[in-house]
Structure 1
Amino acid sequence: MMPIKATKLSLNLPFGLGGITIEPNEAEQRAAWTLYVELMTRIAVQPLDPDTGLLREALQSLYSLFSLTRKILLEAGPGVAHGPESLGPVAIEVLNKGLRPFTAKWHPRLSDHETKRPADLNQVEHERQWQHYDEMCDELAEVQEKMRVYAEALAKIAGAK
């Protein structure tokens, strides 16, 4: 990836994080690109297929973003954390204020429901019968929309067209 010339970018962030002005350095550009690719290839921003998609898989995909983001930021080093309006702190805030409330709410509820699945009912059918299925789907769609806003910001930081 060719680094873009450092330019100030004004970005709006999801999850009530407001806006930032960032002048990304090369470390931020590379880390933003890696995060962008990870997001765009996951259920974090892709719609859940109502016929075959499982909420459990969506939840696991979202949860995996925590370890992926940590790994990417650790590998990128302190160059991505040179102030509150730099990529590192923003990525951490997206996890803590955006994804964590959703995963913390739904993981135990879905796990509890999963333990009650009868042997003669497949996982998809059992999940569809859950009383909170529609509510979780609606909240997942909201999180996905906000993660798309985050992905767009990452693409701009990375200099992707």
Structure 2
Amino acid sequence: MRRIRNAAGRARPKQITVRVTIPMLGEVTGLWEPVEAERKAAWELYAELATRVSTVELGPGEGFLREALTSFYSLFATTRDILRRYGPDVAPRRGPDHITFGALAVTVLNQALRPLLAAWHPRLAAYEALRPSDVDPVAYERGWEHAQELREEISRVRGVLVELAKALAEVAGSADLLRPATHAYPPPRSGDGVR
């Protein structure tokens, strides 16, 4: 893999092979040779993904399903904004085995996020509408008979977003921001210890 250096001297790949597995669609794969606009757009979307609840694993009894769905939903507006600002430079015409920022971002939105939201948002909203006013929203949500099923679907889509985020980080030349900061940063080389 050939690399170029960014302003901070960090190596950024001239090309990467992208593999993102999307439930019900399969593997989206191709060669990505990012232009500068794609690198900048990749960083912007990566920063969004790295700071959202949508890329954090929800343990049993943790989090709020509504918050997770809202976070997923807001990625549509964020991605549309990035696509509009950078324009066609983030979706250059390439061969059939090539990936662009635009194609990858839109595929993840339409094939991973949209089906989850289309199926689960109305179901959760209908259940929430039945909540008695004297019942805590979190306790009520956790009592929903479909809560575990939705958690599993959220986990699958979260996996897609994490794969996307890793590809975006690679293109942007960024460190892994999804990894907890409590780990040695950068990771120590064997026998070096923390620096």
TM-score (norm 2): 0.77
Amino acid at match of 2:14: T
Equivalent residue for 1:74? Answer: 84
2:55 to 45, 49, 54: 45
Equivalent residue for 1:7? Answer: 14
TM-aligned CA deviation for residue 83 of structure 1: 2.5
Where does the alignment leave 5 or more consecutive residues of structure 2 unmatched? 1-5, 176-195
Q: Following the alignment from structure 2 to structure 1, what is the Cα–Cα distance between the partners of residues 13 and 61?
A: 45
Query: Once superposed, what is the RMSD of the aligned Cα atoms?
Result: 1.7
Moved more, 89-98 or 1-10: 1-10
Q: Following the alignment from structure 1 to structure 2, what is the Cα–Cα distance between the partners of residues 61 and 33?
A: 18
Amino acid at match of 1:156: E
Matches within 5 A, 1:101-112: 101-112=115-126
1:157 to 163, 166, 171: 171
Q: Following the alignment from structure 2 to structure 1, what is the Cα–Cα distance between the partners of residues 59 and 138?
A: 11
TM-aligned CA deviation for residue 157 of structure 1: 1.4
Amino acid at match of 1:127: E
Larger Rg: 2
Native 8 Å contact 1:14 1:147 kept in 2: no
Amino acid at match of 1:14: T
Structure with bigger helix share is: 1
Amino acid at match of 1:44: S
Q: Following the alignment from structure 1 to structure 2, what is the Cα–Cα distance between the partners of residues 11 and 27?
A: 18
Native 8 Å contact 1:44 1:62 kept in 2: yes
Structure with bigger strand share is: 2
Native 8 Å contact 1:29 1:157 kept in 2: yes
Q: Which protein has greater RCO, CA pairs closer than 8 Å, 6+ apart?
A: 1
Equivalent residue for 2:134? Answer: 120
Question: Percent identity among equivalent residues?
Answer: 42
Where does the alignment leave 5 or more consecutive residues of structure 1 unmatched? none
Matches within 5 A, 1:57-68: 57-68=67-78
Equivalent residue for 2:150? Answer: 136
TM-aligned CA deviation for residue 125 of structure 1: 0.6
Amino acid at match of 1:94: V
Q: For this pair of structures, how many residues does the alignment match?
A: 161
